[in-house]
Chains A and B, each alone.
Chain A
């Protein structure tokens, strides 16, 4: 029993699910659901269909083996063509190792995506600043507190004038 990969969306195909199509050149294509199957029949390229994993990897939105040249955590899960005889010790170790590798892989993938999204935060900040600069008049009139200020200034000035008038020198 194996969990296969869907040709179109690269999702898991569990046993008893999905459809397998065999072409005349003996190449088999598995699909996890009819959505993928129908897209395939329409001859759409999974590398250009935005919701598939193939697109995400091809356009650098997700961690791949090529993007980070030393990313070994993705090298562990590989389809092997030479069967290995069962050996309890080996199997036990493999299961443990698998769990650890999975952990590390998840961390790295999350980190990669976070880094990608950092730029967005920057842009957001700038946009907020721009917005405020341009449209502040919608919530606060430019002369909001200024009338009072002007009045105070006027009063002050008058007082000064009066003082000036009163000042000796005349």
Chain B
């Protein structure tokens, strides 16, 4: 499966299809493209704010920042492009009705799409400009023009940003050079359970309106449109680079902007409230804030009272005062806890010593000791190190209030058992006979193992000959029998020794010529030689044993159905070609 999105219109067409189908196919593509363009452009046009529909403060701000004319032009261009695209699509769809082959229709579609693309390519600069506007617009601070606002203005580098940093949670750049603040910044603060906006402006220099640049114009716009309490900040130490005189001049120049606004100046002026402040030592900052906010609130209330909407609300408000029924004094009741809490809020001192205070006090020596809060029976055991594990056992498993009692019982039991002799070791001393037997048994086992090992070590070349074929050395025989305990000294005239001597006197072993029949054998010799199955056998008992041994060795072979020792044929009793596979015709008859 390919990774990119599938086409939204069908892609497969052949020239042998019916012509209406081909036409419809390509018309669809043209209309689809036109639709997409139309939608996108409409979205852009509607999403950008119309300068006539928004608050004049924002309209002015946008004018200052982006130039109203350019903005409107760009949007107009886009609108035109949209209409053009629509027209193109309409035309080509109409033309397609007269296309009589696949090739013609395809070329028409190609032309339509091409024209639409070219139209849009021409709008490149407008689109780029609008994109920049969009990005900047999204980063503008959200200033509510209708709510309680404090506006800071003054020369550059006098301390407006420091003030706003002190009073709100805003974090505006404060640097020693002028024009550090290049745009409007908003901070919020609380006073009297109400939210207040504090707006920081870039500094204004003293020259006529036409000469002002974008940055100053922003400040002017704010001054002009926001209904706020204006705090004119002045630098008494003249570190901003302008003398007090210049600052005062600027103030008077800006005054016309202050129509129907409340004015407070930090430091000197006529008829206007002045408060000394220092952001470094924090003196007066709270005072300024309080004063400004109070006055603004009063002003706002007044304006509202003068307006028309108040009456709707006032008509519905009614303060009911209960009539006095007797002379008894009934003051309002404030519970003690509430009063204390209010006092604590005002005084702002912690009631009990917190861990944090302790930590700060002790500094490096502080150790978090949670064990001191434990609730135990004995107070002095709180800081004990409690053992948990002993030799692979958990101590917690043994904890039991009655453990001592149980232990006692157990020990008593143990004592009884010991007395009863359970724990006596019982190796009975064995008598001598048993020890001898053990020794002998051990010897027997060793001998057995030896025999087994010997038989394993034997090389077995050739057929298994009966024992009598191997010649037994006299010395070997005497040694073995001697080991078994028999007395083998002076056995010269024993049977086996005599046989050995006799066989030596006879000629060396006759070579057996198995292939050539013994033609030279005389009848007497053949008669004198005993038959093979009686050779070497002394008595019938031995003969019987020999016969038994013969039968024994044949048992295995007979059971396996072998002809002899050398028969190693492996029978194929279940041939695969007969037994595997499906039961096809005829092949199961011969199983």
A positions within 8 Å CB-CB of B: 1-3, 12, 70, 72-73, 75-80, 84-88, 90-91, 93-95, 97-102, 104, 107, 111, 118, 125, 127-129, 131-132, 135-141, 143-145, 147-148
Contact = CB atoms under 8 A, between A and B. Distances in A.
A24 to B, nearest CB: 28
A70 B413 contact: yes
A2 B396 contact: yes
A162 B136 CA distance: 151
B403 A97 contact: yes
Contacts of B400: 76, 80, 94
Given A3-B389, A104-B414, A139-B444, A144 B401 contact: no
12 contacts: A3-B392, A73-B410, A85-B377, A88-B381, A94-B398, A101-B407, A101-B410, A107-B423, A131-B444, A132-B437, A136-B440, A138-B451
B409 interface: yes
Nearest to A133: B437
Given A97-B398, A98-B398, A147 B487 contact: yes
B229 to A, nearest CB: 64
Given A80-B396, A86-B381, A91-B387, 5 more contacts: A12-B392, A75-B406, A91-B399, A137-B484, A141-B485
B270 interface: no
Interface of A is mostly: helix
Interface in B381-398: 381, 384, 386-398
B69 to A, nearest CB: 70
A102 B391 contact: yes
A80 B441 CA distance: 56
B527 to A, nearest CB: 40
Contact of A138 (B374, B397, B403, B447): B447
A78 B393 CA distance: 11
Given A87-B381, A140-B484, A94 B440 contact: no
Contacts of A88: 378, 381, 384
A145 B485 contact: yes
B447 A139 contact: yes
- Category for how many chain B residues contact A: 35 or more
A136 B441 CA distance: 8
Interface of B: 374-378, 381, 384, 386-401, 403-404, 406-407, 409-411, 413-414, 422-423, 426, 434, 437-438, 440-441, 443-445, 447-448, 451, 481, 484-487
A77 to B, nearest CB: 5
A73 B401 CA distance: 17
A18 B545 CA distance: 68
Given A3-B394, A94-B395, A95-B387, A72 B484 contact: no
Given A72-B406, A97-B404, A129-B437, A139 B484 contact: yes
Contact of B397 (A70, A78, A139): A78
B493 to A, nearest CB: 14
A147 B486 contact: yes
B371 to A, nearest CB: 10
B565 to A, nearest CB: 30
Contacts of B387: 91, 95
A59 B409 CA distance: 29
B443 A139 contact: yes
Nearest to B430: A125
Contact of B407 (A2, A12, A100): A100
A90 B400 CA distance: 8
Contacts of B397: 77-80
Nearest to B433: A129
A137 B393 CA distance: 58
Given A1-B389, A145-B485, A104 B395 contact: no
Residue with the greatest number of chain A CB neighbours at <10 A, chosen from B378, B387, B394: B394
Contact of B445 (A72, A131, A140): A131
B75 to A, nearest CB: 61
Given A2-B388, A91-B387, A76 B398 contact: yes
Contacts of B403: 76, 93-94, 97
Contacts of B395: 91, 94-95, 98
B437 A144 contact: no
Contacts of B413: 70, 72
A65 B486 CA distance: 61
A104 B410 contact: yes
